[in-house]
Chain A
C-alpha cells in the first residue's frame, strides 16, 4: 500500500515548530558570537600570547576537536552536576556550542593570523602602534578577511549540529520534530518539513554572513 501523505496533521503543532525554530536561531546566533570571541582569544594566545597560555589553548583545541559534540554536551549536562555545576538545558546547549565553535574557530583564525605578512606587524611598530593596536587593526582584520569563507562554513556546521541539543531536552527545532512525531506518528511529513526549515535556515545564515562581509570588509 502506498503511504498516504498528510501534512494537515502537522498544522495543530505549528506553534511547537515555531518555538523550536526560534530557539535554534537564537542559540545559533548567541553561541556563534561567543564562539568567535573565544576563538579570537584562543588564536591570539597561540600566536602572540605567553607560552603557557598557548599550551593551554592547544590542549583545549585538541580535546574539543577530537571528541564527539554529543559527548561534550552530555558531559556538561549530565556529568557536571556530579561536581556541583548544574545548569539548565538551554545554558548547557549554549555553553557546549560556544566551547565547540571556540575550538574550531581558534584554529581557523590562527591560520588567518599566520597568513598576515610579518612586515605588516613591523610597519605597525614603526608607526608607534601598541601591540593591542597592531593586533586589532592590522592582524585581526586581515586574518578575518582571509579565513572568512572557512569561518562561515564552520558557523553553518555549528547551526546544523545544534540539532543534537534536543537530546538533553533543549527545545530546539529537532526537539519539536521529535515531539510532533511522537504524537501523530507522521515521521515522513514532520522530518521532511523540518529538513526544509534547516535548509532554509542554512541558506539564510549564509546570506547573512555574506551581507556582514560586504559591510565590514573593504573592497579589494
Chain B
C-alpha cells in the first residue's frame, strides 16, 4: 500500500468516525425537552450574588426571584429541579457546554448574546426608572421641572436622565448606590433614579419613604436563556412563562422579591 493510499484510508476512517459521533450527538441536541422529561430532572443555572434575583439565604441555599422561577418551571414540567449556582461571567458557557439546560440568571438580551444562545419571552421586569414617594405626581421626565433627583454618577439611568430631564430639574450625582439611597431616604432629594432592584432594597429598608415607580427610563427585562436549535424546549418555556403571567405567579414573585407590582408595560 502506498503512503498516499494509507492517508486516504485514514481520512475515510476519520470521516466515518466523525459521522458516527455526529449521528450519536444529533438526537440529543435536537430535543433537550425529551431528554429532560426522560431524566426527570432539569438543570437550571441561577445567580448567587445578585439579590433579589438570586443570593444565598440564611441556610446558604440560593434564594430569590430566579430560583422561584426555576422551581416553577420544574413544577410545570413535572420534573425535579437541580439548581446550579453560576456567576454572570460563566452562565452562558455553562449553557453552551450543556452543564445546564436553562439559564435563569437575570439575563438581559443583546445582539452578541443572541448570536450564541436563544431567549425565551421575558419572565422578570428589569429596568431603571425615576422613583418617588406616593404623594409625588410625576408622569414623565418633563414633570421633573423644579425637582431634585438623586442618581449614581456614571450609571446608565444617570446618563439617560441627564439627557431627558428639563434644565430646571436638579440632578444630584452621588458616588455610589449607597450614597444615592441615603440621599433619598434622608429627603435630601425628592426623587431617585435607579434600578428596580435597588428600589426594592430601599422599599424593604425605608418604610417612611417607600419609593414608587414614576416612570421608566430604560427597560431591559430578564429572559430565560437556552441553547440554540431547541424549538420544543423554547416553546415549552414560553408557554410556562405565559401561564405564570396569566395565573398571577409573576405578579406574586414581583411583589415578593421586587416589592413592586409588575409594571403595566410588562
Contacts and interface: CB of A to CB of B under 8 A. Distances in A.
B175 to A, nearest CB: 6
A79 B188 CA distance: 10
Contacts of A182: 153-154, 158
A166 B175 CA distance: 8
B188 A86 contact: yes
A78 B182 CA distance: 6
A169 interface: yes
A88 B173 CA distance: 13
A179 B188 contact: no
Interface string B172-215: 11110001001100111000000000000000000000000000
B261 to A, nearest CB: 29
Given A169-B183, A182-B153, A182-B154, A77 B188 contact: yes
Contacts of A183: 159
B205 to A, nearest CB: 13
A86 B175 CA distance: 20
Interface in B7-50: none
A167 B183 CA distance: 11
Nearest to A84: B187
Given A77-B188, A81-B188, A89 B172 contact: yes
Given A89-B188, A167-B174, A169-B174, A78 B183 contact: yes
Contacts of B153: 178-179, 182
A212 interface: no
A179 B154 CA distance: 8
Interface string A69-103: 00000100111011000101100000000000000
A169 B158 CA distance: 13
A81 B187 CA distance: 7
Given A78-B182, A182-B153, A167 B188 contact: no
Interface string B71-106: 000000000000000000000000000000000000
Interface in A83-138: 86, 88-89
A22 to B, nearest CB: 18
Contacts of A179: 153, 173
Interface residues of B, number: 15
Given A178-B153, A182-B153, A167 B179 contact: yes
A167 B186 contact: no
Contact of B186 (A82, A166, A175): A82
A178 B174 CA distance: 10
Nearest to A78: B182
A126 B89 CA distance: 83
Contacts of B186: 77-79, 81-82, 86
Contacts of A77: 186, 188
A78 B150 CA distance: 13
Contacts of B179: 78, 167-168
A114 B86 CA distance: 67
A82 B179 CA distance: 15
Given A81-B187, A86-B187, A86-B188, A169 B182 contact: no
Interface string B230-242: 0000000000000
A138 B159 CA distance: 58
B175 A167 contact: yes
Contacts of B173: 169, 175, 178-179
A98 to B, nearest CB: 20
Contacts of B174: 167-169
A14 B188 CA distance: 28
Interface in A168-218: 168-169, 175, 178-179, 182-183
Contacts of B158: 182
A203 to B, nearest CB: 28
Given A168-B183, A178-B153, A182-B154, 17 more contacts: A77-B186, A77-B188, A78-B179, A78-B182, A78-B188, A81-B186, A81-B187, A81-B188, A82-B186, A89-B172, A89-B188, A168-B174, A169-B172, A169-B174, A169-B183, A178-B173, A182-B158
Interface of B: 150, 153-154, 158-159, 172-175, 179, 182-183, 186-188
5 contacts: A74-B182, A77-B186, A77-B188, A82-B186, A168-B174
Q: 5 tightest CB-CB pairs across the interface, nearest first?
A: A182-B154, A81-B186, A169-B172, A78-B182, A78-B186
